[in-house]
Every structure is written in structure tokens, then in C-alpha cells.
Structure 1
Amino acid sequence: MSSLNIDTATAHTAKAIAVFDIDGVIRDVSGSYRRAVADTVEHFTAAAYRPTAEDIDQLKSEGCWNNDWQASQELIYRYFETQGQTRSQLALSYDELVDFFQRRYRGADLENPDQWDGYISQEAILAEQVYFAQLSHDQVAWGFFSGATQGSASYILERRIGLRQPVLVAMEDAPGKPDPTGLLKTVTLIEQQGILPGLPVVYAGDTVADMQTVQAAQAQKGDRRWLAVGILPPHVQHAADYAATYRQKLQAAGAAIVLENITQLTARLIHQLI
């Protein structure tokens, strides 16, 4: 896969840009990031509270907890508040929390991807290289904007899927969602590959914050069309009622359409949406 996300000979004829969130969209994080959240909260509450998937979803539905380290911290704070303690009373070290989380997620060696044997090594991939190659062939340029760290996101995109230097804006590169800065930056990087400016942008994500990010981008850069596409993450699809409720939350937050798998977002559907 070329580092250019669309063939250079047809770059000037691209008709749309697709930007993808990663967690819950490109990879299943129910047994990795979310498991690490639960482990972290359980550890720092001395095993008094382990959040369920529904607890984590409820927090994320507020639209401001895309960062899983901060989400873990917030769940810990809220638990102790139910026990009559204030946040100022707690001696909770954020750095220690992050370190514990990362050792569960990445493994004992935090810096060497070749040695990562934590939860990240077990993540199911939800889109293969051929999917992105087909988008390029069908004149859709693409890239990634994720709240994951650069290391984690690159591990999945390059090592697990086999993409070569894809456009990626990660946690270290932009403010957290729903701030649209990262999405706007991703689009700019894609356009720098020779794509015509001003093309419609589709952003696919699995959280309320993802949908709100698109609305914020539209408000800031209304000279082009922005569309939010909701993706139901795998963990919500085990129960029809829960999936329906999750779908409704994404739609209420601005999703133009909600799909069950990212590979349903074909170039044909993208062209229909725009």
C-alpha cells in the first residue's frame, strides 16, 4: 500500500474523503481498551468496583470521555463520591493510573511494539487492507483520526493491517474529541497528497463524541460538506435492545447513518451519502 491513500494518477479525480476513528471501528477494543479501563478502575478502588460495559458506555455517551485514561479516572472519582468522599480527598495519581493502564494494555515493555503482549495483541481487526485499497480504487481518499496513542494506532494500522504510512492524527497530535481540530488536521494532511480541496468529508466513529466532532467541524468549516457515520461497536451487538439504544444515541448526536460494520461503508455508499 502506497503512503498515498489514493493512486497518484487519479488523485485529482477523488470525489470524497473518508476519515476513520480506530477504536470500535477498525479494531474491537471490548477485550482490550475497555478491559483495561475496568481493570484500572477495579485496581484503584481496591476491588470495590469494576465497571460494566454499560457503565463505560454511559460515561462515554456524555461526549467528553474519549480518552480512556481520563475515563478511568472519572469512573474512580464517581465511585468514591458515592461513598461520601470528595475528589480533593483522594490521593489519586494520574501518572500511576496511566502506567497501570498501559501495562495491562501493552504489556510489561511499554516502548517496544515487538514485545507488546498485553491486551492489544489480542484485538480483533474489523477491516483488512483490501477494504482501503478498494476505497482508493473507487476514488475515495482516506485517513485516520483517533484518540488512541500514536504507538497503539500505528501498531494496528501498520503491523496488524499492513498499511504503509497512512495519514494518522492521534492523541498526541490534537485536542481530544469533540474538539474538531484533529479531524480538520487529518483532512488537511490528506489534501496535501494532491487531493482537490473542498471535497465532502465522511467521518466514521462509534461514539457520541465522534458524531459531535463532525458537527463541530461543520460549524467551523461550513464551506464543505461534513457527514457523520455511526458504527455500532462489536460489544453492543450482542443484545438487540442494547444495540437499538446505542444506535439511537449516535443518531441523536448527528449520525447520518448507522452501520453494523465499517466494511459496509463502501465507496458506493459514500458517494450516495454525499
Structure 2
Amino acid sequence: MSAIVVFDIDGVIRDVGNSYRRALADTVSKFTNDAYRPTAVEIDMLKNEGIWNNDWEASQELIYRYFESQGQTRSQLNLDYDKIVAYFQTKYRGTDPVNWNGYICDEPILASLEYFDALTAANIPWGFFSGATRGSASYILERRLGLTAPVLVAMEDAPGKPDPHGLFMAVAKLGQQYEQTERLPIVYVGDTVADMHTVINARSQQPNRQAIAVGVLPPHILAQASQIDSYRQNLIQAGASVVLDRIGELTPDLITSVQGIGIKPA
């Protein structure tokens, strides 16, 4: 074994440009009385601050910032976070709590079952650490992608990124399935500044364990050529050793030569 690989889900395994991000924009629009709907660029700008991995909290923050731009203070607004979350979920999961009928149902999948089979065949332990809820993450990984009970640390299990506790939890779970993983490098694959900062924080908390951040460009960025270079540079500046266009480029051979991806590009 050459490394343990842990994947983020949103923007890496599934395209959330027209689901999570759409629900975020819908929610901000709803709670600003349709006065403000954030653009994809504005959402990226917020995400690039590195602390808004949770889209419920990101929605609330953009609502606050809109009203602050109109001269109101946060204490005047008295926003109800639970109502923000509930509305967001009616858009993302849908209105039927049992048979989901929201935006999640149409999320394009960015990886394949064969990709993970190839990692397993190469004796590479792999799992997931995501800020998504366990229900949402399991829906994508098991029902849509076809994985069987993969190692998963979700929102309910650990503090949000960039806290690395959830990453360590995923690594520990994989260590229970594979022998002699204690000294293997950790590769974390994500698409946001918060994901890269998670690896930086992991290094500071466990300095004797090599941790490598691999960035992946999310589909909404790949669709806008003018933003690719700046988004790539943001991830590199945040700690990515390499930034790939899509998850499939992180092949078993590249992972096996883990020292190669552990070196920052010039």
C-alpha cells in the first residue's frame, strides 16, 4: 500500500452546481424577499474565504451580508436558522421526506464504480469525508454510484471543515479494514479552499504523518474557461500539491507515486 485516499463528495463525486448551489441561491432569494440572488461567482467568492463549507451556514451568511449592505445590523434581523435550513432542504431534498424529489435527484455523477474498483485492485484504501449530511452522501454513494457501505464520515459525525477531525476519523476507519496503515501518507481530494485548509490543519495536528492535498476543479468552473486559472491558483495557494480537472485523473499509478503529487508544482 502506498497511501490512504479520502475523497470529498460535493464537486468531486457529484456535480452540485445545479443542486446544492441552486438551493443556496433559492434560499438567499427567499429570505431577502427576492431582492438578492447570489451568482455562481459570488458563491465561489464566499467559499474561497475557506470557512463556509456548510451551505446552510453559507446561505445565512449571504442573507446577513445582503441586509448589512442595506444598512441593517445582524442583531436587527433575528434570522431563524432552523427555518433557513428547512427551506433549503425543501429545495435540495424536495417536499417528500421519504421519496426525495428535489434537486439531489438530478445531480450528475462525476466518478464511476469502476474507478473505485481500480483503487481496490491496486490495494489503495479509500473512503469519504464530506460536509454533506449522511443521508445525502449515502444516497449518492450507494443508490446512485452503487458502492456498498463505503467508509464515510459525514456532517453528523465530525466538526465541519477545515477542522481535520473528520479526515482523521475516516483514516482510522480505513485502518480497521487494512493492516499496517499507520505510516501511510494521507491524500485528501477536494474542490474548495476549505478542503485544502483541512489538510494544512491535519499536518499541524499530526506533524509526523504526511498529508497531501489534491484539488479537483468542480464542473461549474470547468464550464467557464475564464475562471479556471484563478480557481486553480486559489486551491494551490490554499495548500493543494496538484489540481486536477477531474477525479479520474487521480489514477492508481499517480497515487502510487505519492511523492510525485506531494511536491508543489513550480
Bucket of the pairwise TM-score, normalised by the shorter protein:
over 0.9
Check conservation: 1:16, 1:139, Cα contact below 8 A: no
Write the distance in 1 (CA, Å) between the matches of 2:100 and 2:57. 23
In structure 2, which of residues 11, 26, 42 is the aligned counterpart of residue 55 of structure 1? 42
In structure 2, which of residues 4, 8, 11 is the aligned counterpart of residue 24 of structure 1? 11
* Structural mapping, 1:97-246, within 5 Å: 97-110=84-97, 112=98, 115-196=99-180, 197-246=182-231
Structure 2 gap ranges (5+): 260-266
Write the distance in 2 (CA, Å) between the matches of 1:263 and 1:208. 20
The answer to whether residue 253 in structure 2 is matched with residue 268 in structure 1 is: yes
Identical pairs, percent: 62
Q: CA deviation at 1:56?
A: 0.5
Q: CA deviation at 1:239?
A: 2.1
Q: CA deviation at 1:92?
A: 1.3
Match for residue 244 of structure 2? 259
**Which structure 1 residue ranges, 4+ long, deviate > 2 Å from structure 2?**
none
In structure 2, which of residues 14, 26, 29 is the aligned counterpart of residue 42 of structure 1? 29
Task: Say which SS state the counterpart of residue 178 (structure 2) adopts.
Answer: coil
Check conservation: 1:17, 1:202, Cα contact below 8 A: yes
CA RMSD of aligned residues (A): 0.8
Check conservation: 1:108, 1:116, Cα contact below 8 A: yes
Write the distance in 2 (CA, Å) between the matches of 1:228 and 1:66. 16
Match for residue 7 of structure 1? none
Match for residue 79 of structure 1? 66
Structure 1 gap ranges (5+): 1-13
Number of residue pairs matched by the alignment: 258
Match for residue 95 of structure 1? 82
Write the distance in 2 (CA, Å) between the matches of 1:89 and 1:57. 27
Given residue 191 of structure 2, which amino acid in structure 1 is its aligned partner? D
Write the distance in 2 (CA, Å) between the matches of 1:158 and 1:199. 27
Check conservation: 1:145, 1:169, Cα contact below 8 A: yes
Match for residue 6 of structure 1? none
Task: Say which SS state the counterpart of residue 241 (structure 2) adopts.
Answer: strand
Write the distance in 2 (CA, Å) between the matches of 1:237 and 1:74. 26
TM-score with structure 1 length normalisation? 0.93
Write the distance in 2 (CA, Å) between the matches of 1:265 and 1:71. 29
Write the distance in 2 (CA, Å) between the matches of 1:210 and 1:43. 29
Write the distance in 1 (CA, Å) between the matches of 2:2 and 2:67. 51
Q: CA deviation at 1:241?
A: 2.2
Deviations along 1:178-197, one digit per CA (max 9) or x if unpaired, are: 00000011100000112312
Write the distance in 2 (CA, Å) between the matches of 1:215 and 1:59. 20
Match for residue 263 of structure 2? none
